[in-house]
Amino acid sequence: MKRVAIFLSGGGSNMVALLDDMARSGHAGMPCVVLANSADAGGLERARERGVPTVAVDHRPFKGDRTAFEAAISAALEPYAPDMICLAGFMRVLTGGFIEQWTGRMINIHPSLLPKYKGLHTHARALEAGDSKHGCSVHEVTAALDDGPILGQAEVPVLAGDTPETLAARVLVQEHRLYPTVLRRFAAGDRTPVMLQS
């Protein structure tokens, strides 16, 4: 079994989708800890309700010292001995030093069809560009932001009258399909990209 740590910053709907799938049969992964960069992250309570240990490592006292923040993360993770990390709405940028320790063992979900729209405000940017399709990607984490080998993508149509919020909601439904599908394969050693149609 691969011990999976999940990092989040917010409500954790992707984390819940991952936990629910790991609870189903035939999964090569099992959750070992959910980590947030704030004790207020709603996802922590949802993880606890599901019997998964949680830790909060607040980034604020580190005042921008990312290396010290990451050292605290590594120390907090150690008792749980994760084999891999899933970033699931973790809104802190990690340094190359931390990422290197987890090369090939850390994956992320991003709300765009990468390589389009790395970074923030992906839904607004897709609308501004007049794109007819949008979606989400799961990729291996490498030192460059929102880069790294694509493990899977799911597309959604952009509809007339969409706002960033309506588009985000349509993409999120697909995130909840895509991320568990990719993790199930990845934990079993399969890195072949999976492309989902909505």
Closest CA to 115 of 135, 132, 92, 100: 135
Site string for ligand GAR, 92-121 (x = CB under 6 A): -----------------xxx----------
Instruction: Round to whole Å and give the CA distance between 37 and 85.
Output: 14
- Do the Cβ atoms of 21 and 184 come closer than 8 Å? yes
CB of 162 to ligand GAR, least distance (A): 16
Choose the binding region for ligand GAR from 11-19, 52-60, 72-80, 180-188 (rule: CB under 6 A).
11-19
Closest CA to 94 of 147, 163, 167: 147
The verdict on whether 110 is a catalytic residue reads yes
Interacting residue with ligand GAR among 31, 89, 148, 180 (CB under 6 A): 89
Q: If you search the block for the tokens 């992964």, which residue do you land on? A: 29
- Using CA of residue 194, residue 169, residue 38, residue 66, what is the dihedral sign? positive
CB of 13 to ligand GAR, least distance (A): 3
Beta strands in 60-103 (DSSP E): 84-87
Q: If you search the block for the tokens 């993770």, which residue do you land on? A: 77
CB of 12 to ligand GAR, least distance (A): 5
Question: Per CB under 6 A, does 8 bind ligand GAR?
Answer: yes
Question: Which parts of this chain interact with ligand GAR (CB under 6 A)?
Answer: 8, 10-14, 43, 88-89, 109-111, 136, 172, 175
Catalytic residues: 110
